[in-house]
Amino acid sequence: MPRLDRLRDARWTLAPRHVAVLAVVLVLGLAWLAWTFLRARPESIPDTRPTTAASGSPVAQPNPTRQQPAPTQPGATQPQATEPQATPQTPGATQSPVVVHVAGKVRRPGLIKAPPGSRVADVLTLAGGPLRGVDLTSLNLARQVTDGEQIIVGQPAPTNEPPSSTASNQTTAPNTPVNLNTATLAQLDALPGVGPVLAQRILDYRTHNGPFTTIDQLQEVPGVGPKKFESLKPHVRT
């Protein structure tokens, strides 16, 4: 038994390299143990099936990828949501009715108030309609009416055309001769063969030389030749 006694009395001594080896083994063991524990940890699988409420209709699940608003830091100004601004209405934008004078063969002739955008047919309806047998082909029933106009039903519309230049010349050229000393530019212009240029020359001659004493002085006006003078003699006097 001497061997056993030697082993009992022997002291265990560890060198620094032995301690380093034991430390490496211990670290590797702990790392392997932690990795095994994390790998064996159960993971939750999200349920993608729509849940059914008590009424039987599917309820929408919250989207996990939806970004949540970031927490507001103290003292930070939050941007305010812009609201659509209402367009201000212009005062007096409501259009007033148009007033039309309906005359002729209608049931209620006179002033008719019609809504804006009304047509001739609408105005005739407001006036009670045309009388029986009235021909409306001369009226454009689809035309829009304007404020202050007149619609004549079943009668020819009055013509307000200004008299033509020929008619005015005839009215301004009387049968009696024109006095060269008192005639106006329009009266001289109305003489046969005399235009506005020659009429102005006659007035200029009278201004610079005084009144005409005889009609023969008309030949001294530039532009009045013998032929022109002979045509003007029956129509002028002094």
pLDDT digits (tens, 9 = 90+) for 29-74: 888 888 787 776 655 566 666 555 444 555 555 554 555 555 555 5
Q: In whole angstroms, what is the distance from residue 216 CA to residue 212 CA?
A: 9
Look at residue 77 in the predicted model and tell me its pLDDT: 55
pLDDT of residue 124: 92
Label residue 171 by pLDDT band (50, 70, 90). very low
Q: Where would I find the beta strands (DSSP E) of 41-176?
A: 51-52, 58-59, 98-104, 110-114, 150-153
**84 compared with 115, residue with greater pLDDT:** 115
pLDDT score of 225 more than 90 = no
- pLDDT category at 170 given cuts 50, 70, 90 is very low
Exposed, middle or buried: residue 17 (CB in 10 Å: 0-12, 13-18, 19+)? exposed
Residues contacting 101, CB < 8 A, separation 6+: 110, 111, 112, 148, 149, 150, 151
Torsion of CA 124, 125, 127, 130, to 10 degrees: 60
Domain ranges of the chain: 98-153, 170-237
Q: Mean pLDDT across the chain, nearest whole number?
A: 75
- Phi/psi for 121 (5° steps) reads -65, -40
103-125 pLDDT, tens digit per residue, is: 989 999 999 999 999 999 999 99
- Global confidence as pTM: 0.32
32 against 15, higher pLDDT: 32
Dist CA 210 CA 223 (whole Å): 19
Element (H, E) at 179: strand 178-179
Q: Which of the four pLDDT bands, split at 50, 70 and 90, describes residue 99?
A: very high
Work out the angle at residue 210's Cα, subtended by the Cα atoms of residues 207 and 215, and round it to the nearest 5 degrees: 105
- Would strands 178-179 and 150-153 be described as parallel, antiparallel, or unpaired? unpaired
Give the homologous superfamily in CATH for domain 170-237. Photosystem II 12 kDa extrinsic protein (1.10.150.320)
- Residue indicated by tokens 């430390």: 23
